[in-house]
Amino acid sequence: MSSPVAIVTGAGRGIGREFARLLSGAGWRLTITAARSREELEATASALPGEALPLVADAGDPVDAERTVAETLARFGRLDALVNNAGRGPREWSETFNRTPERFWEIPPDAWREIVRSNVDGPFLMARFAAPAMIAAGRGRIVNVSTSRITMVRKGYSPYGPTKAALDAMTRVFAQDLEGTGVTVNALLPGGATDTPFIPGERGRTGADGKLLPVSVMNEALLWLLSGASDGVTAARLVGARWDPADPAACREDTGEPPLIL
């Protein structure tokens, strides 16, 4: 049986690069993408122990998203998982957002549109083109990298926070749409700020809680989500910082009941 295949978006740096390293080491064949830097993407690919297809592609562009899935299927002949990691944050317009929050009316409209396009359109487009191949195979995994709920509504984090709230809603809707197909959709989040370029500065960088989590904080939860051990788990939020190998359910965060129609 051939090795499983995953697409990891935003793999040029940070969490995406860590996920690529993790999955490649676990025997996965990969397509890895980045929208901006071919050099960073190729550096990631060259450091992987397994087979990888690096593609400069913007997940928020429908042509690029469709091409990414098509080239993955042409190269590997299958697609088992999609990890929607690519996204953009407040550094699109501010290098001091974590110290001096800017109000929503101070955000350049172009920056707003670009973050929404990357963080909302991107996961939709990638899932939209990946789902048919997974449905045809009768099994697949879609993992959307999210953020803490407090970040979704934190002062100065618009539109980044609201786009992640939208991604959580998309996760639950997509999971329901895929019910009975063998394809699951879940959200995965660190549980705090991670030590990545998302946080500006060279020294003294911290998250809102004064800490920075290691970039590997979601690794074990991701491997579990992509394995057969998570069969039947869908529409869930998993928090990497809460991972307990003896009790994987301990890292699940209650998503609550769907809202009533009033």
Between CA 165 and CA 3 the distance in angstroms is 34
Q: Which amino acid is at 200?
A: P
**What is the C-alpha to C-alpha distance for residues 3 and 80, in angstroms, rounded to an integer?**
10
Q: What is the pLDDT of residue 6?
A: 98
Asked if 160 is an active-site residue, the reply is yes
pLDDT mean values, one per 10 residues, the chain (262 residues): 94 96 98 92 96 97 98 98 93 72 90 96 98 98 96 91 97 98 98 81 54 94 97 96 93 72 56
H helix or E strand, kind and range, residue 259 = none
Q: Is the pTM of this model over 0.75?
A: yes
Q: Which domains does the chain have, with CATH numbers?
A: 5-253 (3.40.50.720)
Q: Which of 19, 157, 160, 198 is catalytic?
A: 160
List the strands of the sheet with 252-253, edge to edge. Answer: 52-56, 29-34, 5-8, 81-84, 140-145, 183-189, 237-239, 252-253
